[in-house]
């Protein structure tokens, strides 16, 4: 049985003044929601205080990226071990904004995901096509190649999460339709089954991300192979995050 995960990605947003949102989110999750995990991935500067704010609640906190190495001369970078030390349980790797802004390739993303596993974190491995790729009919091939290249060798199915985030739907207000999501998520599950077997593939939560909001979450979460969401803008406000969480089963 696949776990359900409602995860927020704060991206480069949030100051200490935003901790009230984390406290409110922590206070609102867990009640009667066995089987639905809640997670907020926050900037590294907030991780320790966010972990403290969530302490004793069902809310987990995570990082937004990590370096592949455990430590060393990498100015400005943060290792998976550091994230774990700060209280993270998960880390997002391979977000399209990291792939674009920092030239992160599938190979780099796989190394980051391996680092997360080494540190005892769950990597949320992001994949998704651009608008040009969608228009050219390349979506399924591209996403399959990202899956093949971004999941590290030796990873076990129960240790990873995949997030499908079509780049054209991120922060644009444009949401993929249920049919579009269904097509890609089904293809992702099939590809994962080739590597992990059908039972293994079934254990990997497949999140959808891209302009997910309280008003469209129910429809998205109903799609067959959708096991949760990776939510950007709407995760910044506890009320919105909790309204999405409330619709997850
Ligand atoms: O990129 C996303 C989450 O990782 C989605 O962002 P938005 O929900 O703001 O579109």
Q: Which residue carries 């009640």 as its tokens?
A: 31
| Count, residues in the chain | 249
Domain that holds residue 43: 4-246
Q: For this structure, is 90 an active site residue?
A: no
Question: From the first residue on, what is the mean pLDDT of each consecutive set of 10 residues in the chain (249 residues)?
Answer: 91 97 97 89 98 97 98 98 98 98 98 98 98 97 98 97 97 92 98 98 97 97 97 98 96
Please report, for the domain that includes residue 201, its CATH number. 3.20.20.70
pTM score, whole prediction: 0.98
CB under 6 Å to ligand 1: residues? 9, 95, 165, 170-171, 209-212, 230-234
Ligand 1 atom at minimum distance from 211 CA: 10
pLDDT computed for residue 34 by the predictor: 82
Q: How far is the CA of 118 from the centre of ligand 1 (A)?
A: 27
72 CA distance to ligand 1 middle (Å): 31
The total domain count for the chain is 1
Distance CA 152, CA 85 (A): 22
**pLDDT tens-digit map of 47-69:** 999 999 999 999 999 999 999 99
pLDDT reported for residue 1: 62
């Amino acid at each position: 049985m696949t776990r359900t995960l409602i995860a927020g990605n704060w991206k480069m947003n949030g100051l200490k003044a935003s901790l009230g949102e984390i406290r409110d989110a922590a206070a609102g999750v867990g009640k009667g929601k066995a089987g639905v995990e809640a997670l907020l991935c926050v900037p590294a500067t907030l991780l320790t205080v966010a972990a403290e704010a969530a302490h004793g609640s069902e809310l987990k906190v995570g990082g937004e990226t990590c370096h592949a190495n455990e430590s060393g001369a990498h100015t400005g970078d943060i290792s998976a071990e550091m994230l774990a030390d700060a209280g993270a349980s998960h880390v997002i790797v391979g977000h399209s904004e990291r792939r674009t802004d920092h030239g992160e390739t599938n190979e780099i993303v796989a190394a980051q995901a391996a680092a997360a596993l080494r540190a005892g974190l769950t990597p949320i491995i992001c994949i998704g096509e651009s608008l040009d790729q969608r228009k050219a009919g390349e979506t399924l091939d591209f996403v399959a190649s990202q899956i093949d290249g971004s999941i590290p060798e030796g990873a076990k199915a129960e240790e990873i999460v995949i997030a499908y985030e079509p780049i054209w739907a991120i922060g644009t207000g444009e949401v993929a339709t249920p049919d579009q999501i269904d097509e890609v998520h089904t293809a992702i599950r099939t590809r994962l089954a080739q590597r992990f077997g059908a039972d293994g593939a079934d254990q990997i939560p497949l999140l959808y991300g891209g302009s997910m909001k309280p008003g469209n979450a129910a429809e998205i979460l109903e799609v067959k192979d959708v096991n949760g969401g990776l939510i950007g803008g709407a995760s910044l406000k506890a009320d919105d995050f909790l309204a999405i969480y409330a619709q997850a089963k």
